[in-house]
Amino acid sequence: MSRRKLLEQLAFGTGVAATGMASWPLAASVIQPLRGEAGPPAEPWVEVAIEKEVRADRPLKATLRIPVRDGYFTTLVELGAVWLRRGSDGTIAALSGTCPHLGCGLGLDAKGGFACPCHESHFGPDGGYLKGRRRAPWTRCRCASRKAACWCRPCDSPPDKVRRQI
């Protein structure tokens, strides 16, 4: 084989490989929906904690993350957070981690309830309104126990301001 022929074949092979790599994301975006792999299902159940971690004396904050496949990348996408607490009857209740006023993250306060750092709304341990800008209890989330783990569905509704714009 001549040197010229060898270089022609190498250039052709490199071109075919580069074209294949460049067209892979396009092919994946066509094939994935056909295989039913497009994006997350609506309101998926997400494992958020081991049941034993959820205690009655202190709420546990858990983040809902789901794997989302996009082309050949799979990334974990956050769907919000929940506060988990075990009730006196042993059942686990979940409250959204987002303030219902304008969507800031809620944290624990010194009295065992919850407080929003943005406009100082306060809620009781069960999510009931105590004081501040938001006069209604915030969102309860759907959770279930399965295989010694706690599973929740995304529960954040749009905050007040977004809801008014819709």
Binding site for ligand FES (CB under 6 A): 99, 101-102, 104, 116, 118-119, 121, 132-134
- Shortest separation between residue 56's beta carbon and ligand FES, angstroms: 26
- Judge contact between 113 and 125, C-beta under 8 A: yes
CA 117 – CA 19 distance, rounded (Å):
52
Rank residues 40 and 132 by Cβ distance to ligand FES and give the closer one.
Answer: 132
Instruction: Give the C-alpha distances (Å, rounded to integers) separating 90 from 51, 67, 86.
Output: 11, 30, 6
Query: Tokens representing 148?
Result: 């010694």
Question: Which residue type occupies 100?
Answer: P
CA 41 – CA 36 distance, rounded (Å):
10
Rank residues 92 and 106 by Cβ distance to ligand FES and give the closer one.
Answer: 106
Rank residues 55 and 135 by Cβ distance to ligand FES and give the closer one.
Answer: 135
- Shortest separation between residue 16's beta carbon and ligand FES, angstroms: 56
CA 152 – CA 47 distance, rounded (Å):
7
- Shortest separation between residue 158's beta carbon and ligand FES, angstroms: 13
Rank residues 131 and 142 by Cβ distance to ligand FES and give the closer one.
Answer: 131
- Shortest separation between residue 136's beta carbon and ligand FES, angstroms: 12
- Judge contact between 56 and 85, C-beta under 8 A: yes
